[in-house]
Structure 1
Amino acid sequence: MLNSDREGSVSKWRIRLETEKKDLELKLQKSALENNQKEILQQRYLLILTGVFISIFIILVFYLYKLYQKQKLLSEHNAILIQEQNHRVKNNLQIISSLLSLQSNQLSDSKAKQAIDESQLRIEAMAVLHRQLYDTKELDKIDMELFIHNLSDMIFDSYGIEEVELEYHINIRPLKAEKAVFLGLMINELISNACKHAFAEHPAPVLSIDLSEKNHQITMRIKDNGLKSVSFQKKESFGMKLINMMVNQLDGHLSYEFNNGSTFTFKIA
């Protein structure tokens, strides 16, 4: 009976342990299933969020592309308008120059004729600048080396001077058109002055034009090898008044010296 009771008790405990073991296994399986379901939900949420972000990114890229296309068309349209404006200004300046030439041909007074011719040269100087703006891709900037070469050639042709030794030292970035036109008018006045006074009956005329930029300061120096100081320095002359007006407009400084020729030095910040 004792053996039978012992075996019954052992069998009962064995059954109980097996039952608890199976319950524990079921709990572990249930916990693993719940964890898998949570991971599946998290992955589903992550996929949904990724899809939303990708959709927003695609919409944003499409919007930016449309905006870029619109800005590109607007820029091209503005470029065409600026080019057309420069072309019209160039044509208008040429018309004004032609009218002044016709008026000059009808004048008998030498001083009045000289004044008209000088005004025509000033207009031609601005026409050279606008011609360069129209012919190049730079819409509002001027290559000063090309501009000075074209301008000086035009002035010497106007005065019929061919045998001039020209020295150019141009080391400057392209300038805005509004600043370049002031420098161009000053160069026109100073070269015209040299043609009228310094190079008159000169056996070997030499003209030097230096234009450089350092530490945001622009320095322009125009030197001739005239044999004497010229009357252009008189402050009451129209050319000198015009130069002083442009110097003040640019907040610059102009100096003059005579040493084997006249040297005009202009500096602006």
Structure 2
Amino acid sequence: MEYRIFTKDREMRWVDERTFIQRDEECRAIYFQGVVIDITERKLAEEALSRADQIRKKEINHRIKNNLQIVSSLLDLQAEKFSDKQVTEAFKESENRIVSMSLIHEELYESGNLDFLDFSSYIRKLTTDLCRSYSTESLSIVVNLNVNTVFLGVDTAVSLGIIINELFTNSIKYAFPQGKGGEIKVELLKEKTSEVTGEKEISGKKPILKDPGEIQGVYEQFTLVFADNGRGMPEELDIKNPKSLGLQLVNALVSQIEGSLELRREKGTEFRIKFRDAIQDTR
């Protein structure tokens, strides 16, 4: 057992206390031996290594962000050489995908938390950038966000950022008749908390056998809602087997975060993505 103590000189030291028990043939304890080892130097070395690792990760995120911004700028410059609308739109869509990833690393770098991030802050920056990219004000399109402060793991946040980027692009391109305007709504709803144990998931519903490779812990259940009040998706569209690259990407990313995708067609188009993420300790 490791713990801290204070010497009579008020100096803090780390110690490792170990106890050994000797038993007789009938397993009765007949002898105890204890030892307390000063491990202060080891603890200080571990803390120094941890701080160095944090600095290294922060610098990596900074460099990734800068490199992604360079790639985005190169795509923007390359797009200017083409006059074909389909080609320039393809460049813009690729550029926005890269920006959605770059913003993740910017958020990580600025916050100092390198394994998870404030998703509400990230999503506001992302939608602001998308509105600027597609000039939504000139198109009379209003974007409403309902995302409270919540911390998500980096892998989950990256996937959701690209998903929102794809759905946003799809709405801008197809949902609203030219000159009519409309509304886009993004919500993140917290559903419930579940615990993954060695055998099953406890979530108030039927127990689910746990994947042997799954990390144990406590998870929060979420629903990401992306909706617009535009013309709606064609009835013949199979959301599970779409032909467009953007929706194919959405399906792939939903599977990647082990979520589920639902399409509703009442009063426009509404996508509901259910997923879960490990509860993050932000202290």
Same-fold call, TM cutoff 0.5? yes
CA contact under 8 A between 2:107 and 2:117: conserved in structure 1?
Answer: yes
For 1:75-106, what per-residue CA distance to the aligned partner results, in whole angstroms no more than 9, with x for missing partners?
A: 11011101100011001101111111121111
CA distance in 2, matches of 1:132, 1:87: 10
Cα distance change on mapping 1:78 and 1:200 into 2, 3 Å: farther
Q: Percent same amino acid among aligned pairs? A: 33
Deviation at 1:69, TM superposition (A): 1.9
CA distance in 2, matches of 1:232, 1:110: 26
Query: Is residue 187 from structure 1 mapped to residue 164 from structure 2 by the alignment?
Result: yes
Give the unaligned 5+ runs of structure 2: 1-7, 17-36, 194-219, 277-283
Give secondary structure in 2 for the equivalent of 1:263: strand
Candidates 226, 239, 242, aligned match of 2:230:
226
- 1:147-166 counterparts in 2 under 5 A? 147-162=122-137, 163-166=140-143
CA distance in 2, matches of 1:253, 1:211: 14
Give secondary structure in 2 for the equivalent of 1:221: strand
For 1:18-69, what per-residue CA distance to the aligned partner results, in whole angstroms no more than 9, with x for missing partners?
A: xxxxxxxxxxxxxxxxxxxxxxxxxxxxxxxxxxxx9xx9794893332332
Deviation at 1:108, TM superposition (A): 3.1
- 1:1-269 counterparts in 2 under 5 A? 60=15, 63-162=38-137, 163-171=140-148, 173-201=150-178, 203-213=180-190, 214-215=192-193, 216-229=220-233, 235-269=242-276
Cα distance change on mapping 1:98 and 1:60 into 2, 3 Å: same
Query: Which structure: greater helix fraction?
Result: 1
**Higher Cα Rg: structure 1 or 2?**
1
Structure 1 residue identity aligned to 2:227:
K
Query: Which structure: greater strand fraction?
Result: 2
Count of aligned pairs: 215
CA distance in 1, matches of 2:39, 2:223: 44
Cα distance change on mapping 1:60 and 1:253 into 2, 3 Å: closer
Cα distance change on mapping 1:232 and 1:161 into 2, 3 Å: farther
Give the unaligned 5+ runs of structure 1: 1-53
Cα distance change on mapping 1:58 and 1:155 into 2, 3 Å: closer
CA distance in 1, matches of 2:96, 2:120: 19
Give secondary structure in 2 for the equivalent of 1:260: coil
Cα distance change on mapping 1:251 and 1:58 into 2, 3 Å: closer
CA distance in 2, matches of 1:79, 1:176: 16
CA distance in 2, matches of 1:187, 1:198: 15
CA contact under 8 A between 1:169 and 1:211: conserved in structure 2?
Answer: yes
Structure 2 residue identity aligned to 1:190:
L
Structure 1 residue identity aligned to 2:161:
G
Q: What CA RMSD, in Å, does the superposition of the two structures yield over aligned residues?
A: 2.7
Cα distance change on mapping 1:58 and 1:206 into 2, 3 Å: closer
CA contact under 8 A between 2:163 and 2:250: conserved in structure 1?
Answer: yes
CA contact under 8 A between 2:111 and 2:117: conserved in structure 1?
Answer: no
Cα distance change on mapping 1:148 and 1:79 into 2, 3 Å: same
TM-score (norm 2): 0.69
TM-score (norm 1): 0.72
CA contact under 8 A between 1:252 and 1:266: conserved in structure 2?
Answer: yes
Give secondary structure in 1 for the equivalent of 2:64: helix
